[in-house]
Amino acid sequence: MRIGEFDINRADGKILLNDIRLDTGILPRGHKLSKEDILYLKMTGIRKITAGEMGVADLSAENALSNLAPRIAGKNVVYVTPERNLCKIAADRDGIFICQENRLLKFNRMSSKVVLNTIAPYQNVRKGEVIAVLSVCPPALEEELLEEIDFKLSGNEPLLSVEETKNEQAAVIYTKFYDDAAENHHFSAIVRKMVKNYTPFGLEFTAEYSCPHTVDGIAEAVAYAAGRHRVVMIVPGMPACHPDDTAPAALKTIVDSIVCSHIPQADAPDLMIAVKRNAKIIHMPYNYDKTVSPLADRFIRIAVKKDKITQSDFAFEQNVFLGNEILSNEEKNRIIAPDDKKNKKEPSIAAVILAAGVSSRARRNKLMVKIGGKPLFMKAVEAAVRSKASPVFVITGHDAENLEEHLENIDINILRNHDYASGVKTSIRLGLKSVPSSCDGALLIPADMPNITAEYLNRMIKSFNKGKERQLLVSAYGGHKYNPVLWSSDLYPTADLVPEDSHLRQVFLEHSDYLSLVESDAETCLDVNFPNDLELLTKDGEEASSAAPAAKP
Protein backbone atom coordinates (compact mmCIF):
# COMPACT_ATOMS: atom_id res chain seq x y z
CA MET A 1 0.00 0.00 0.00
CA ARG A 2 1.30 3.43 -0.96
CA ILE A 3 0.72 6.02 1.77
CA GLY A 4 0.77 9.74 1.04
CA GLU A 5 -0.94 13.10 1.38
CA PHE A 6 -3.50 13.75 -1.35
CA ASP A 7 -5.32 16.84 -2.50
CA ILE A 8 -8.95 16.25 -1.57
CA ASN A 9 -9.97 16.59 -5.23
CA ARG A 10 -7.68 13.64 -6.10
CA ALA A 11 -8.65 11.41 -3.17
CA ASP A 12 -11.41 9.44 -4.89
CA GLY A 13 -10.91 5.72 -4.16
CA LYS A 14 -8.21 6.30 -1.54
CA ILE A 15 -8.30 4.38 1.79
CA LEU A 16 -8.58 6.29 5.07
CA LEU A 17 -5.82 5.68 7.63
CA ASN A 18 -7.86 7.10 10.51
CA ASP A 19 -11.46 7.80 11.47
CA ILE A 20 -12.74 11.12 10.12
CA ARG A 21 -15.49 12.83 12.12
CA LEU A 22 -18.27 14.56 10.17
CA ASP A 23 -21.48 16.22 11.34
CA THR A 24 -23.39 13.35 9.75
CA GLY A 25 -21.29 10.61 11.38
CA ILE A 26 -17.90 8.93 11.13
CA LEU A 27 -15.95 7.87 8.07
CA PRO A 28 -14.12 4.89 9.59
CA ARG A 29 -10.51 3.90 9.21
CA GLY A 30 -10.12 1.66 6.16
CA HIS A 31 -13.08 3.30 4.39
CA LYS A 32 -12.69 3.79 0.64
CA LEU A 33 -13.51 7.40 -0.21
CA SER A 34 -16.29 8.06 -2.71
CA LYS A 35 -17.10 11.25 -4.60
CA GLU A 36 -19.91 11.89 -2.12
CA ASP A 37 -17.48 11.52 0.80
CA ILE A 38 -15.11 13.99 -0.82
CA LEU A 39 -17.92 16.51 -1.20
CA TYR A 40 -18.70 16.28 2.53
CA LEU A 41 -15.02 16.61 3.40
CA LYS A 42 -14.67 19.72 1.25
CA MET A 43 -17.75 21.22 2.94
CA THR A 44 -16.02 20.84 6.32
CA GLY A 45 -12.97 22.72 5.02
CA ILE A 46 -10.64 19.74 4.55
CA ARG A 47 -8.37 20.35 1.56
CA LYS A 48 -5.71 17.64 1.98
CA ILE A 49 -5.84 14.18 3.50
CA THR A 50 -3.28 11.46 4.21
CA ALA A 51 -4.58 8.15 2.91
CA GLY A 52 -3.52 4.91 1.28
CA GLU A 53 -3.68 3.57 -2.23
CA MET A 54 -4.14 -0.19 -2.67
CA GLY A 55 -1.67 -2.02 -4.88
CA VAL A 56 -2.47 -5.08 -6.96
CA ALA A 57 -0.64 -7.33 -4.47
CA ASP A 58 -2.19 -5.81 -1.34
CA LEU A 59 -4.65 -7.53 0.99
CA SER A 60 -7.17 -5.66 3.10
CA ALA A 61 -6.54 -5.67 6.85
CA GLU A 62 -9.48 -8.03 7.37
CA ASN A 63 -8.18 -10.51 4.77
CA ALA A 64 -4.67 -10.30 6.20
CA LEU A 65 -5.97 -10.99 9.71
CA SER A 66 -8.06 -13.90 8.42
CA ASN A 67 -4.82 -15.40 7.07
CA LEU A 68 -2.72 -14.73 10.17
CA ALA A 69 -5.16 -15.69 12.94
CA PRO A 70 -5.34 -19.43 12.16
CA ARG A 71 -1.52 -19.56 11.97
CA ILE A 72 -1.16 -18.51 15.62
CA ALA A 73 -4.36 -20.01 17.08
CA GLY A 74 -3.61 -23.48 18.39
CA LYS A 75 -5.28 -26.05 20.60
CA ASN A 76 -8.61 -24.99 22.16
CA VAL A 77 -8.38 -21.49 20.68
CA VAL A 78 -10.87 -19.73 18.38
CA TYR A 79 -10.94 -16.32 16.74
CA VAL A 80 -13.65 -13.84 15.79
CA THR A 81 -14.01 -12.76 12.18
CA PRO A 82 -11.86 -9.61 11.88
CA GLU A 83 -13.47 -6.21 12.06
CA ARG A 84 -11.90 -2.77 11.69
CA ASN A 85 -8.27 -3.94 11.68
CA LEU A 86 -8.76 -6.11 14.80
CA CYS A 87 -9.19 -9.81 15.40
CA LYS A 88 -10.10 -11.05 18.87
CA ILE A 89 -8.79 -14.47 19.87
CA ALA A 90 -10.50 -16.41 22.66
CA ALA A 91 -10.34 -19.59 24.71
CA ASP A 92 -12.58 -22.40 23.48
CA ARG A 93 -12.55 -24.22 26.83
CA ASP A 94 -11.79 -23.62 30.49
CA GLY A 95 -8.11 -24.21 31.13
CA ILE A 96 -4.69 -22.58 31.24
CA PHE A 97 -3.57 -20.07 28.63
CA ILE A 98 -0.20 -21.05 27.15
CA CYS A 99 2.09 -18.65 25.28
CA GLN A 100 5.89 -18.47 25.35
CA GLU A 101 6.87 -14.87 25.94
CA ASN A 102 10.10 -15.04 23.95
CA ARG A 103 8.09 -16.22 20.94
CA LEU A 104 5.53 -13.45 21.46
CA LEU A 105 8.34 -10.89 21.49
CA LYS A 106 9.77 -12.40 18.33
CA PHE A 107 6.36 -12.23 16.64
CA ASN A 108 5.98 -8.54 17.47
CA ARG A 109 9.45 -7.86 16.02
CA MET A 110 8.54 -9.38 12.66
CA SER A 111 6.82 -6.23 11.42
CA SER A 112 5.69 -2.94 12.92
CA LYS A 113 2.51 -3.30 10.86
CA VAL A 114 1.26 -6.35 12.77
CA VAL A 115 0.76 -6.37 16.56
CA LEU A 116 -0.25 -9.21 18.88
CA ASN A 117 -1.20 -8.41 22.48
CA THR A 118 -2.15 -11.13 24.95
CA ILE A 119 -3.24 -11.49 28.53
CA ALA A 120 -0.51 -12.72 30.89
CA PRO A 121 0.37 -16.29 29.91
CA TYR A 122 0.03 -19.30 32.20
CA GLN A 123 -3.11 -18.20 33.96
CA ASN A 124 -6.53 -19.81 34.31
CA VAL A 125 -9.04 -18.74 31.65
CA ARG A 126 -12.69 -19.51 30.94
CA LYS A 127 -14.30 -20.53 27.69
CA GLY A 128 -15.07 -17.40 25.69
CA GLU A 129 -12.49 -15.28 27.50
CA VAL A 130 -10.40 -13.08 25.21
CA ILE A 131 -6.78 -14.18 25.43
CA ALA A 132 -5.30 -12.07 22.62
CA VAL A 133 -5.99 -9.32 20.12
CA LEU A 134 -4.28 -9.37 16.72
CA SER A 135 -4.22 -6.08 14.85
CA VAL A 136 -2.93 -4.69 11.57
CA CYS A 137 -1.91 -1.04 11.70
CA PRO A 138 -2.40 0.07 8.05
CA PRO A 139 -5.67 -0.62 6.21
CA ALA A 140 -3.86 -3.17 4.03
CA LEU A 141 -0.79 -5.40 4.00
CA GLU A 142 1.48 -6.32 1.14
CA GLU A 143 1.08 -9.96 0.12
CA GLU A 144 4.87 -10.32 0.15
CA LEU A 145 5.02 -9.22 3.81
CA LEU A 146 2.26 -11.67 4.72
CA GLU A 147 4.17 -14.49 3.03
CA GLU A 148 7.34 -13.51 4.92
CA ILE A 149 5.52 -13.58 8.27
CA ASP A 150 3.93 -16.90 7.34
CA PHE A 151 7.39 -18.35 6.62
CA LYS A 152 8.79 -17.12 9.93
CA LEU A 153 5.90 -18.78 11.78
CA SER A 154 6.38 -22.12 10.03
CA GLY A 155 9.13 -23.52 12.24
CA ASN A 156 7.11 -23.97 15.40
CA GLU A 157 3.81 -24.96 16.93
CA PRO A 158 0.95 -22.39 17.02
CA LEU A 159 1.81 -19.52 19.34
CA LEU A 160 -1.40 -19.54 21.41
CA SER A 161 -3.11 -22.50 23.07
CA VAL A 162 -5.31 -23.38 26.04
CA GLU A 163 -4.46 -26.54 27.97
CA GLU A 164 -6.69 -28.55 30.26
CA THR A 165 -6.05 -27.97 33.97
CA LYS A 166 -4.55 -31.24 35.21
CA ASN A 167 -3.59 -32.01 38.78
CA GLU A 168 0.15 -32.35 39.40
CA GLN A 169 1.53 -33.73 42.65
CA ALA A 170 4.38 -31.82 44.28
CA ALA A 171 6.82 -32.39 47.12
CA VAL A 172 8.08 -29.66 49.47
CA ILE A 173 11.62 -29.68 50.92
CA TYR A 174 12.38 -27.50 53.96
CA THR A 175 16.10 -26.68 54.28
CA LYS A 176 16.62 -26.01 57.98
CA PHE A 177 19.29 -23.55 59.09
CA TYR A 178 18.06 -22.41 62.54
CA ASP A 179 15.66 -25.32 63.13
CA ASP A 180 13.60 -23.31 65.60
CA ALA A 181 10.03 -22.04 66.00
CA ALA A 182 10.67 -18.80 64.10
CA GLU A 183 12.01 -20.70 61.11
CA ASN A 184 9.02 -23.07 61.16
CA HIS A 185 6.70 -20.05 61.23
CA HIS A 186 8.53 -18.66 58.18
CA PHE A 187 8.16 -21.98 56.35
CA SER A 188 4.44 -22.12 57.15
CA ALA A 189 3.85 -18.61 55.78
CA ILE A 190 5.51 -19.49 52.48
CA VAL A 191 3.60 -22.76 52.11
CA ARG A 192 0.25 -21.07 52.84
CA LYS A 193 0.93 -18.64 50.00
CA MET A 194 2.06 -21.46 47.70
CA VAL A 195 -1.16 -23.37 48.38
CA LYS A 196 -3.25 -20.26 47.73
CA ASN A 197 -1.46 -19.40 44.46
CA TYR A 198 -0.91 -22.80 42.90
CA THR A 199 -3.70 -25.12 44.08
CA PRO A 200 -6.17 -23.48 41.61
CA PHE A 201 -3.50 -24.14 38.99
CA GLY A 202 -3.71 -27.89 39.61
CA LEU A 203 -0.73 -28.28 41.97
CA GLU A 204 -1.27 -30.67 44.89
CA PHE A 205 1.27 -30.70 47.75
CA THR A 206 1.33 -34.36 48.74
CA ALA A 207 4.73 -34.88 50.40
CA GLU A 208 7.05 -32.98 52.76
CA TYR A 209 10.75 -33.51 53.45
CA SER A 210 13.32 -31.64 55.52
CA CYS A 211 17.10 -31.48 55.43
CA PRO A 212 19.98 -29.40 56.82
CA HIS A 213 20.70 -26.18 54.95
CA THR A 214 24.01 -27.51 53.63
CA VAL A 215 25.23 -28.35 50.14
CA ASP A 216 25.25 -32.10 50.80
CA GLY A 217 21.99 -32.04 52.74
CA ILE A 218 20.06 -30.19 50.03
CA ALA A 219 21.58 -32.26 47.22
CA GLU A 220 20.63 -35.52 48.94
CA ALA A 221 17.06 -34.36 49.63
CA VAL A 222 16.54 -33.10 46.07
CA ALA A 223 17.88 -36.35 44.60
CA TYR A 224 15.50 -38.37 46.76
CA ALA A 225 12.42 -36.23 46.09
CA ALA A 226 13.10 -35.85 42.36
CA GLY A 227 13.11 -39.62 42.01
CA ARG A 228 9.55 -39.76 43.33
CA HIS A 229 7.83 -36.54 42.25
CA ARG A 230 7.59 -34.56 38.99
CA VAL A 231 7.57 -31.24 40.88
CA VAL A 232 9.86 -30.52 43.84
CA MET A 233 9.65 -27.15 45.60
CA ILE A 234 12.44 -26.07 47.96
CA VAL A 235 11.48 -23.74 50.82
CA PRO A 236 14.88 -22.42 51.98
CA GLY A 237 16.03 -21.62 55.50
CA MET A 238 18.38 -18.95 54.13
CA PRO A 239 18.32 -16.76 51.00
CA ALA A 240 20.60 -17.56 48.07
CA CYS A 241 22.63 -14.40 47.53
CA HIS A 242 25.28 -15.67 45.12
CA PRO A 243 25.60 -18.32 42.38
CA ASP A 244 27.94 -20.25 44.70
CA ASP A 245 25.72 -19.91 47.79
CA THR A 246 24.53 -23.08 49.54
CA ALA A 247 21.36 -23.88 47.59
CA PRO A 248 22.73 -23.01 44.10
CA ALA A 249 25.88 -25.01 44.83
CA ALA A 250 23.76 -27.98 45.89
CA LEU A 251 21.62 -27.82 42.75
CA LYS A 252 24.70 -27.67 40.52
CA THR A 253 25.92 -30.97 41.95
CA ILE A 254 22.68 -32.89 41.46
CA VAL A 255 20.50 -31.51 38.63
CA ASP A 256 20.82 -31.92 34.87
CA SER A 257 20.51 -28.19 34.18
CA ILE A 258 19.52 -24.92 35.85
CA VAL A 259 17.17 -23.15 33.44
CA CYS A 260 16.52 -20.09 35.64
CA SER A 261 19.24 -18.95 38.03
CA HIS A 262 17.57 -15.77 39.33
CA ILE A 263 14.95 -13.13 38.55
CA PRO A 264 15.45 -9.35 38.37
CA GLN A 265 13.49 -8.45 41.51
CA ALA A 266 15.25 -6.93 44.49
CA ASP A 267 13.17 -8.58 47.21
CA ALA A 268 12.91 -11.99 45.54
CA PRO A 269 15.96 -12.56 43.34
CA ASP A 270 16.64 -16.13 44.43
CA LEU A 271 13.98 -17.96 42.45
CA MET A 272 15.77 -20.86 40.78
CA ILE A 273 14.33 -23.49 38.47
CA ALA A 274 16.16 -26.66 37.49
CA VAL A 275 15.56 -29.98 35.76
CA LYS A 276 16.58 -33.45 36.89
CA ARG A 277 15.44 -36.16 34.49
CA ASN A 278 11.66 -35.67 34.28
CA ALA A 279 11.39 -33.66 37.51
CA LYS A 280 11.19 -29.88 37.82
CA ILE A 281 12.96 -28.45 40.89
CA ILE A 282 11.82 -24.99 42.02
CA HIS A 283 13.78 -23.08 44.67
CA MET A 284 11.31 -20.58 46.14
CA PRO A 285 12.51 -17.04 46.94
CA TYR A 286 13.38 -16.78 50.63
CA ASN A 287 11.07 -13.77 51.03
CA TYR A 288 8.26 -15.23 48.95
CA ASP A 289 5.76 -14.85 51.81
CA LYS A 290 6.40 -11.08 51.97
CA THR A 291 6.78 -10.38 48.25
CA VAL A 292 4.38 -9.64 45.42
CA SER A 293 6.08 -11.04 42.33
CA PRO A 294 3.97 -11.67 39.23
CA LEU A 295 7.19 -12.60 37.42
CA ALA A 296 8.10 -15.30 39.96
CA ASP A 297 4.55 -16.67 39.94
CA ARG A 298 4.51 -16.74 36.14
CA PHE A 299 7.88 -18.50 35.94
CA ILE A 300 6.75 -21.08 38.49
CA ARG A 301 3.59 -21.73 36.49
CA ILE A 302 5.63 -22.15 33.32
CA ALA A 303 7.91 -24.62 35.09
CA VAL A 304 4.97 -26.64 36.41
CA LYS A 305 2.84 -26.73 33.26
CA LYS A 306 5.26 -26.79 30.33
CA ASP A 307 6.21 -30.28 29.17
CA LYS A 308 9.90 -29.51 28.57
CA ILE A 309 11.51 -26.34 29.94
CA THR A 310 14.67 -24.58 28.73
CA GLN A 311 16.47 -21.31 29.46
CA SER A 312 14.54 -19.57 26.70
CA ASP A 313 11.29 -20.05 28.65
CA PHE A 314 12.52 -17.73 31.39
CA ALA A 315 13.51 -14.56 29.56
CA PHE A 316 13.25 -11.28 31.47
CA GLU A 317 11.80 -9.19 28.64
CA GLN A 318 8.32 -7.89 29.30
CA ASN A 319 5.29 -7.88 27.01
CA VAL A 320 2.22 -5.65 27.12
CA PHE A 321 -0.67 -7.77 28.35
CA LEU A 322 -4.39 -7.27 28.00
CA GLY A 323 -6.86 -7.00 30.82
CA ASN A 324 -9.34 -9.85 31.17
CA GLU A 325 -12.32 -9.74 28.81
CA ILE A 326 -15.16 -12.07 27.77
CA LEU A 327 -16.43 -12.25 24.20
CA SER A 328 -19.77 -10.51 23.69
CA ASN A 329 -22.76 -12.60 22.58
CA GLU A 330 -22.52 -11.04 19.12
CA GLU A 331 -18.83 -11.92 18.88
CA LYS A 332 -19.52 -15.48 20.04
CA ASN A 333 -21.78 -15.85 17.02
CA ARG A 334 -18.81 -15.04 14.78
CA ILE A 335 -16.13 -17.29 16.28
CA ILE A 336 -14.12 -19.54 14.00
CA ALA A 337 -12.20 -22.63 15.07
CA PRO A 338 -9.11 -22.89 12.83
CA ASP A 339 -8.98 -26.10 10.84
CA ASP A 340 -6.51 -28.69 12.01
CA LYS A 341 -4.60 -29.08 8.76
CA LYS A 342 -2.24 -31.72 10.07
CA ASN A 343 -2.99 -35.23 8.91
CA LYS A 344 -3.34 -37.30 12.07
CA LYS A 345 -1.70 -40.25 10.30
CA GLU A 346 1.48 -38.29 9.59
CA PRO A 347 4.30 -38.53 12.13
CA SER A 348 5.15 -35.55 14.30
CA ILE A 349 8.88 -34.98 13.82
CA ALA A 350 11.01 -32.26 15.39
CA ALA A 351 14.23 -30.90 13.87
CA VAL A 352 17.42 -30.30 15.86
CA ILE A 353 20.04 -28.27 14.00
CA LEU A 354 23.55 -28.71 15.40
CA ALA A 355 25.29 -25.33 15.11
CA ALA A 356 27.45 -25.19 18.25
CA GLY A 357 30.82 -26.51 17.05
CA VAL A 358 34.13 -24.67 16.76
CA SER A 359 34.87 -25.69 13.13
CA SER A 360 38.39 -26.77 14.06
CA ARG A 361 38.99 -28.66 10.81
CA ALA A 362 37.82 -25.72 8.70
CA ARG A 363 40.19 -23.36 10.65
CA ARG A 364 37.51 -20.65 10.88
CA ASN A 365 33.83 -20.42 11.73
CA LYS A 366 32.50 -22.13 8.62
CA LEU A 367 28.89 -21.62 9.69
CA MET A 368 29.19 -17.84 9.21
CA VAL A 369 30.72 -18.08 5.71
CA LYS A 370 28.35 -16.40 3.25
CA ILE A 371 26.85 -18.74 0.64
CA GLY A 372 24.45 -17.04 -1.73
CA GLY A 373 24.37 -13.97 0.50
CA LYS A 374 23.47 -15.87 3.69
CA PRO A 375 25.54 -17.58 6.39
CA LEU A 376 26.07 -21.26 5.66
CA PHE A 377 24.13 -22.44 8.72
CA MET A 378 20.98 -20.60 7.56
CA LYS A 379 20.66 -23.08 4.68
CA ALA A 380 19.90 -25.86 7.17
CA VAL A 381 17.69 -23.58 9.26
CA GLU A 382 15.57 -22.50 6.30
CA ALA A 383 15.26 -26.08 5.03
CA ALA A 384 14.02 -27.24 8.44
CA VAL A 385 11.59 -24.33 8.80
CA ARG A 386 10.14 -24.92 5.33
CA SER A 387 9.80 -28.65 5.94
CA LYS A 388 7.07 -30.48 7.83
CA ALA A 389 9.33 -30.76 10.88
CA SER A 390 8.01 -28.92 13.93
CA PRO A 391 9.15 -27.62 16.29
CA VAL A 392 12.61 -26.62 15.07
CA PHE A 393 15.52 -26.25 17.53
CA VAL A 394 18.89 -24.64 16.78
CA ILE A 395 21.72 -25.51 19.15
CA THR A 396 24.32 -22.73 19.35
CA GLY A 397 27.57 -22.58 21.28
CA HIS A 398 30.75 -21.27 19.65
CA ASP A 399 30.17 -17.71 18.36
CA ALA A 400 26.59 -18.01 19.62
CA GLU A 401 25.77 -14.29 19.59
CA ASN A 402 26.56 -13.92 15.89
CA LEU A 403 24.55 -16.96 14.92
CA GLU A 404 21.58 -16.03 17.09
CA GLU A 405 21.44 -12.56 15.58
CA HIS A 406 20.42 -14.15 12.27
CA LEU A 407 17.71 -16.18 14.02
CA GLU A 408 16.20 -13.28 15.94
CA ASN A 409 13.10 -12.82 13.82
CA ILE A 410 12.35 -16.46 12.97
CA ASP A 411 9.96 -18.29 15.28
CA ILE A 412 12.16 -21.22 16.23
CA ASN A 413 13.68 -22.45 19.48
CA ILE A 414 17.27 -21.41 20.22
CA LEU A 415 19.18 -23.45 22.80
CA ARG A 416 22.68 -22.38 23.81
CA ASN A 417 25.08 -25.21 24.64
CA HIS A 418 27.63 -23.84 27.10
CA ASP A 419 29.46 -27.16 27.02
CA TYR A 420 29.91 -27.22 23.23
CA ALA A 421 33.68 -27.71 23.49
CA SER A 422 33.02 -31.21 24.87
CA GLY A 423 31.73 -32.33 21.50
CA VAL A 424 28.62 -32.81 19.42
CA LYS A 425 27.11 -35.29 21.87
CA THR A 426 26.37 -32.47 24.32
CA SER A 427 24.44 -30.59 21.64
CA ILE A 428 22.47 -33.68 20.64
CA ARG A 429 21.51 -34.40 24.24
CA LEU A 430 20.49 -30.78 24.84
CA GLY A 431 18.34 -30.78 21.72
CA LEU A 432 16.66 -34.14 22.23
CA LYS A 433 15.75 -33.55 25.86
CA SER A 434 13.99 -30.35 24.75
CA VAL A 435 11.86 -32.04 22.08
CA PRO A 436 8.22 -32.25 23.25
CA SER A 437 6.98 -35.65 24.36
CA SER A 438 4.25 -35.44 21.73
CA CYS A 439 6.82 -35.79 18.91
CA ASP A 440 7.34 -39.24 17.42
CA GLY A 441 10.96 -38.56 16.57
CA ALA A 442 13.61 -35.97 15.79
CA LEU A 443 15.81 -35.12 12.82
CA LEU A 444 19.43 -34.36 13.69
CA ILE A 445 20.78 -31.94 11.09
CA PRO A 446 24.37 -30.63 11.13
CA ALA A 447 24.39 -26.93 10.26
CA ASP A 448 27.20 -27.28 7.70
CA MET A 449 25.05 -28.79 4.93
CA PRO A 450 24.65 -26.06 2.27
CA ASN A 451 22.43 -28.10 -0.06
CA ILE A 452 19.99 -29.68 2.37
CA THR A 453 16.41 -28.99 1.28
CA ALA A 454 12.95 -29.05 2.79
CA GLU A 455 11.94 -31.55 0.14
CA TYR A 456 14.57 -34.05 1.23
CA LEU A 457 13.73 -33.57 4.92
CA ASN A 458 10.08 -34.19 4.06
CA ARG A 459 11.13 -37.37 2.26
CA MET A 460 12.82 -38.57 5.44
CA ILE A 461 9.75 -37.68 7.50
CA LYS A 462 7.49 -39.51 5.05
CA SER A 463 9.72 -42.58 5.38
CA PHE A 464 9.10 -42.65 9.13
CA ASN A 465 6.43 -45.16 10.19
CA LYS A 466 4.17 -43.53 12.78
CA GLY A 467 3.34 -45.95 15.58
CA LYS A 468 6.30 -48.23 14.96
CA GLU A 469 8.91 -48.50 17.70
CA ARG A 470 12.71 -48.30 17.34
CA GLN A 471 13.37 -46.53 14.06
CA LEU A 472 16.64 -45.04 12.81
CA LEU A 473 16.54 -43.41 9.38
CA VAL A 474 19.84 -42.42 7.75
CA SER A 475 20.59 -40.61 4.50
CA ALA A 476 22.45 -42.70 1.95
CA TYR A 477 24.20 -42.21 -1.39
CA GLY A 478 26.57 -44.40 -3.36
CA GLY A 479 26.65 -47.09 -0.72
CA HIS A 480 27.65 -44.71 2.08
CA LYS A 481 25.70 -43.22 4.98
CA TYR A 482 25.36 -39.49 5.54
CA ASN A 483 23.56 -36.86 7.56
CA PRO A 484 20.86 -36.02 8.43
CA VAL A 485 19.63 -38.77 10.76
CA LEU A 486 16.11 -39.34 12.11
CA TRP A 487 15.75 -41.09 15.48
CA SER A 488 12.46 -42.31 16.93
CA SER A 489 11.73 -40.96 20.39
CA ASP A 490 12.25 -44.32 22.12
CA LEU A 491 15.87 -44.29 20.88
CA TYR A 492 16.78 -40.82 22.22
CA PRO A 493 18.96 -42.30 25.02
CA THR A 494 21.20 -43.90 22.35
CA ALA A 495 21.03 -41.05 19.84
CA ASP A 496 24.37 -39.52 20.75
CA LEU A 497 26.25 -40.14 17.52
CA VAL A 498 25.88 -38.86 13.97
CA PRO A 499 27.52 -40.07 10.73
CA GLU A 500 30.62 -37.88 11.08
CA ASP A 501 31.71 -39.68 14.26
CA SER A 502 34.74 -41.91 13.98
CA HIS A 503 33.01 -44.91 15.55
CA LEU A 504 30.02 -44.77 13.21
CA ARG A 505 30.33 -48.25 11.74
CA GLN A 506 30.11 -49.98 15.13
CA VAL A 507 27.19 -47.76 16.15
CA PHE A 508 25.19 -48.62 13.06
CA LEU A 509 25.93 -52.31 13.57
CA GLU A 510 24.33 -52.01 17.01
CA HIS A 511 21.22 -50.45 15.43
CA SER A 512 21.15 -52.57 12.27
CA ASP A 513 17.91 -54.37 13.20
CA TYR A 514 15.87 -51.21 12.76
CA LEU A 515 18.07 -49.00 10.55
CA SER A 516 16.55 -47.78 7.28
CA LEU A 517 18.23 -45.85 4.47
CA VAL A 518 16.69 -42.86 2.71
CA GLU A 519 18.33 -42.40 -0.68
CA SER A 520 19.82 -38.99 -1.39
CA ASP A 521 22.20 -37.52 -3.96
CA ALA A 522 25.72 -36.09 -4.01
CA GLU A 523 24.60 -32.47 -3.70
CA THR A 524 22.21 -32.95 -0.79
CA CYS A 525 24.73 -35.01 1.19
CA LEU A 526 27.48 -32.40 0.96
CA ASP A 527 28.82 -31.08 4.24
CA VAL A 528 31.67 -28.67 4.87
CA ASN A 529 34.57 -29.78 7.04
CA PHE A 530 37.90 -28.65 5.58
CA PRO A 531 39.37 -25.39 4.21
CA ASN A 532 39.26 -26.66 0.62
CA ASP A 533 35.52 -27.34 1.05
CA LEU A 534 35.02 -23.67 1.90
CA GLU A 535 37.15 -22.59 -1.04
CA LEU A 536 35.06 -24.66 -3.43
CA LEU A 537 31.87 -23.20 -1.97
CA THR A 538 32.92 -19.59 -2.29
CA LYS A 539 35.31 -19.62 -5.26
CA ASP A 540 34.13 -17.33 -8.03
CA GLY A 541 30.57 -17.49 -6.76
CA GLU A 542 30.25 -21.20 -7.54
CA GLU A 543 27.39 -23.07 -5.94
CA ALA A 544 27.95 -25.44 -3.04
CA SER A 545 27.13 -28.39 -5.27
CA SER A 546 30.47 -28.00 -7.05
CA ALA A 547 32.08 -29.95 -4.22
CA ALA A 548 31.54 -33.69 -3.85
CA PRO A 549 30.67 -35.16 -0.47
CA ALA A 550 33.30 -37.01 1.48
CA ALA A 551 32.33 -40.60 2.18
CA LYS A 552 31.73 -41.51 5.81
CA PRO A 553 33.28 -44.46 7.57
Model confidence at 269: pLDDT above 50:
yes
Model confidence at 31: pLDDT above 90:
no
328 in a structural domain: no
Model confidence at 445: pLDDT above 90:
yes
The answer to whether residues 201 and 74 belong to one domain is no
For residues 67 and 64, what is the distance between their CA atoms, to the nearest angstrom?
Answer: 5
333 in a structural domain: no
Mean pLDDT to the nearest integer, 46-73: 90
The answer to whether residues 273 and 392 belong to one domain is no
The answer to whether residues 510 and 384 belong to one domain is yes
The answer to whether residues 156 and 181 belong to one domain is no
- CA angle 233/235/237 to nearest 5° reads 155
The answer to whether residues 144 and 207 belong to one domain is no
* Confidence band of 228 (pLDDT split at 50, 70, 90): very high
332 in a structural domain: no
Worst-scoring range by mean pLDDT, 232-236, 447-451, 469-473, 497-501?
Answer: 497-501
pLDDT digits (tens, 9 = 90+) for 149-174: 999 998 999 999 999 998 999 999 99
Single out the residue of 64, 100, 96 nearest to residue 82, CA to CA.
64
Q: What is the pTM of this model?
A: 0.77
Confidence (pLDDT) at 43: 86
Question: CA separation (Å) from 331 to 26, 92, 162, 314?
Answer: 22, 13, 19, 34
* Confidence band of 372 (pLDDT split at 50, 70, 90): confident
330 in a structural domain: no
- Show which of 133, 161, 189 is a domain's final residue: 161
For residues 341 and 78, what is the distance between their CA atoms, to the nearest angstrom?
Answer: 15
Q: SS3 letters for 319-341?
A: CCECCCEECCHHHHCCEECCCCC
180 in a structural domain: yes
For residues 227 and 116, what is the distance between their CA atoms, to the nearest angstrom?
Answer: 40
Torsion, Cα 259 262 268 274, to 10 degrees, reads 30
Expressed as residue numbers, the domain containing 22 is 2-53
* Confidence band of 131 (pLDDT split at 50, 70, 90): very high
Model confidence at 509: pLDDT above 60:
yes
The answer to whether residues 151 and 178 belong to one domain is no
Contact 298, 121 (CB under 8 A): yes
For residues 442 and 488, what is the distance between their CA atoms, to the nearest angstrom?
Answer: 7
Contact 91, 77 (CB under 8 A): yes
The answer to whether residues 465 and 490 belong to one domain is yes
DSSP calls for 281-330: EEE--TTGGG---HHHHHHHHHHHH-SS--GGGG------BPPPEE--HH
Contact 158, 77 (CB under 8 A): yes
For residues 328 and 129, what is the distance between their CA atoms, to the nearest angstrom?
Answer: 10
- Show which of 161, 180, 203 is a domain's final residue: 161
Task: Return the number of other C-beta atoms located less than 10 Å from residue 377's C-beta.
Answer: 27
Contact 275, 405 (CB under 8 A): no
The answer to whether residues 428 and 507 belong to one domain is yes
Q: Establish how many alpha carbons lie within 13 A of residue 350's alpha carbon, considering only the half-sphere containing its beta carbon.
A: 27
The answer to whether residues 186 and 216 belong to one domain is yes
Mean pLDDT to the nearest integer, 100-109: 90
For residues 224 and 234, what is the distance between their CA atoms, to the nearest angstrom?
Answer: 13
In degrees rounded to 5, what are phi and psi of residue 207?
-150, 145
Confidence (pLDDT) at 16: 87
- Show which of 37, 53, 69 is a domain's final residue: 53
DSSP calls for 135-150: EESSSEEEHHHHHHHH
The answer to whether residues 389 and 414 belong to one domain is yes
pLDDT digits (tens, 9 = 90+) for 172-222: 999 999 999 999 999 999 999 999 999 988 999 999 999 999 999 999 999
Confidence (pLDDT) at 338: 79
Helix/strand/coil for 19 = coil
CATH code of the domain covering residue 501: 3.90.550.10
321 in a structural domain: no
Taking every pair of C-alpha atoms in the chain, what is the biggest distance, in angstroms?
Answer: 87
DSSP state of 440: S
Q: Is the peptide bond before 391 cis (omega within 30 degrees of 0)?
A: yes
The answer to whether residues 413 and 539 belong to one domain is yes
329 in a structural domain: no
The answer to whether residues 152 and 247 belong to one domain is no
Q: How many domains does the structure of the chain reveal?
A: 4
320 in a structural domain: no
Helices and strands, number each (H, E), in the chain:
16, 31
Beta bridge partners of 212: 176
For residues 180 and 186, what is the distance between their CA atoms, to the nearest angstrom?
Answer: 10
Single out the residue of 260, 336, 427, 428 nearest to residue 62, CA to CA.
336
DSSP state of 157: S
For residues 348 and 343, what is the distance between their CA atoms, to the nearest angstrom?
Answer: 10
* Confidence band of 540 (pLDDT split at 50, 70, 90): very low
Length of the chain: 553
CATH code of the domain covering residue 23: 3.90.105.10
